[in-house]
Chains A and B, each alone.
Chain A
Amino acid sequence: MKNKADGTGGATFDRSKRTLPGELNVFFALVLIVTTFEALGWLLIGDSFLFNTRENVDTFFNEARLKIIILQVSIVGIIALGVTQVIITGGIDLSSGSIVGVTAMVTMSFAQVSIVNGNPNPKAIFLEQGWLDLPIIVPLVIGLACGIATGMINGLLVAYTRIPPFIATLGMMVAARGAAKWWSKGRPISFPTDEYAAIGKGLMPVLIFIALAILFALILKFTRYGKHCYAIGSNVEAARMSGINVERHLVLVYTIAGTLAAVAAIVLSSKNLTAQAGMGVMYELDAIAMAVIGGVSLSGGRGSIFGTVIGALIFGVIISGFTFLKLDAYYQEMAKGAIIVGAVVLDQWRQRRQTLGG
């Protein structure tokens, strides 16, 4: 028995005994990685990673680089917000990349213009039906409905058939990719309306990512929904005995994850001004990696949106850092793989150290 398990302390609420949040470690990791790139930058190519070194620009930081770091991870980051919630409940979602694919295809075909440079839109899907130049609300609603439907199917499978989430979402991953290819028989869909193109323009993906991150961070921390996510991931039997409707909750979690994948699809197709059946391939793994690097435990019950956002930034820093050091993309992927494994090893180690014996 631990020496202070009995008799001392009393029923207190002692701030000094609160444990440091796990996200702090992740944040230090981010700082460490940035510092490493900064040092390597000066050593190898004689330039700064983080700070501005150009004479004609009057800023302290290298703002262009910072923008790229966050812009290139914000779309996958939106997916990672949903994946984080799924993993906290002890599940996994392998289908988000494919949901991006099918949603982008379907949404884009309702967002097309009729006239391109004075000619009829050569890529129009619904030319005969005349469904062109539709108001922005139409593709948005249809896109979100795609995400809700696919996510809900995932959730119903996981909750009521009791098959492992890995298998349920693997099935959706394959099926949704098939649907994305079937939708236009493999042809890309292009030329959206100006309103639709505005959704992903410039730094819009970053703003959408940050807004959604704040929204879901608050939801996970301060609402019953969030508390039950952690409870289910922590001990599903305890959650059930406490009267939580575990099945209904899981359906909601996977539906939200699907919806966020759909949001990512809308932003991505808008940014690229086109949709292809192959969009979003491997995004599910990048999103899972961001969450895991950010301290979300694959065994469920632990992690946070804030952690995942930092995980996403680490991802962005590594990609930008390797480009900055002019290293091949091969090294970048190898490093990414190593960091994912390292993050899980660290999580296991922390978990073992924190658990006290009975």
Chain B
Amino acid sequence: MTRQVLNTEGLTKHYGGVHALEEADFEIHAGEHVAIVGDNGAGKSTFVRQITAVEQRTRGKIWFDGNEVNFAGPLEAREAGIETVFQNLALADDLDVPDNLFLGREKFLLNLGPFSILDYGGMRKATLDALMKTGVKIPSIRNTIRRMSGGQRQCVAIARTATFHSKLTIMDEPTAALGVQETSQVENIIRTLKKAGEPLILISHNMRQVFDLVDRIVVFRRGRIVANLNKEDTDQQEVVAYITGAKSGNGQANLT
């Protein structure tokens, strides 16, 4: 078995009386692409918010890159190497591409605390490198995000993950709002990441896409992991059956 990149044990999140996530045991290995599927409100996004520390979990343990981790916030998770493309993109509309890629972790020419001088040249160069690496095509990186199409915005958000040599990339419904052509561009980027051996967690509603891109499929239902299936051992019908609850089972039984 290859090295584990991320591993959770008994991960649980309650919002007051709402049990959004219950006892999630999850793992992903080096170079592996895993899809998380499930109906709306099944706990997929909640799960991502716990491991990226956008929210603090109610209980449970998380190991990342060999160590047990307790990130205080999303920046710590990012610094550790977990890069997330959020559903709502998390881009600043009035800034250009390099500004967005380096938001919150700018390169500096001179460190003066809050008034540190930005290294525009260095950030621009690193941006172009990241775009090359992911195969993202954008007419001009000096354009503000506001002037870009949905697909271009998504590509910028994805390129951000490639800029920082992340150890794990998480994409929360990266193609939900995109057209056909834009979707295929994003899917190509995901294939590029696979070839480069970068592990990825993909949250998606699109079964065709899931079966096209990933190695393993984890199904969430009502806050619990109900199935953990290798792509070769399953089909779309079975996955849908788990999502809707027509079929139920213990995800741990099928572990690779």
Contacts and interface: CB of A to CB of B under 8 A. Distances in A.
Interface string B172-201: 000001110110010000000000000000
Contacts of A227: 95, 99, 103, 106, 118
B131 interface: yes
Interface in B55-99: 73-75, 78, 84, 86, 88-95, 99
A241 B86 contact: yes
Interface stretch (B146-154, B202-210, B225-233, B234-242): B146-154
Contact of B181 (A6, A219, A244, A357): A6
B15 interface: no
A292 B73 CA distance: 36
Contacts of A240: 74
A19 B148 CA distance: 13
A325 to B, nearest CB: 39
B146 A354 contact: yes
A14 B146 contact: no
A224 B152 CA distance: 25
Interface residues of A, number: 45
A243 B74 CA distance: 6
B18 to A, nearest CB: 21
A230 B117 CA distance: 15
A239 B132 contact: no
A9 B140 contact: yes
A12 B140 contact: yes
A224 B182 contact: no
For A10, A238, A243, A244, which residue has the most chain B Cβ atoms within 10 angstroms? A238
B149 A2 contact: yes
Given A227-B106, A241-B90, A358-B177, A7 B114 contact: no
Given A233-B94, A234-B93, A238-B89, A224 B137 contact: no
B252 interface: no
B115 A225 contact: yes
B254 interface: no
Given A252-B114, A356-B149, A242 B75 contact: yes
B114 A224 contact: yes
A237 B90 contact: yes
A15 B143 CA distance: 10
A291 to B, nearest CB: 16
Contacts of A252: 114
A8 B140 CA distance: 10
Interface of A: 1-2, 4-15, 17-19, 219, 222-225, 227, 230-231, 233-235, 237-244, 249, 252, 301-302, 354-358
Interface of B: 54, 73-75, 78, 84, 86, 88-95, 99, 103-106, 108, 112, 114-118, 124, 128, 131-132, 136-144, 146-153, 177-179, 181-182, 185
List of 3 A-B pairs having minimum Cβ-Cβ separation, nearest first: A243-B75, A358-B150, A242-B104
Given A224-B114, A227-B95, A357-B150, 17 more contacts: A4-B139, A5-B181, A7-B137, A11-B138, A15-B142, A17-B139, A222-B118, A223-B118, A224-B106, A227-B99, A230-B94, A231-B95, A235-B90, A238-B89, A238-B91, A242-B103, A355-B146
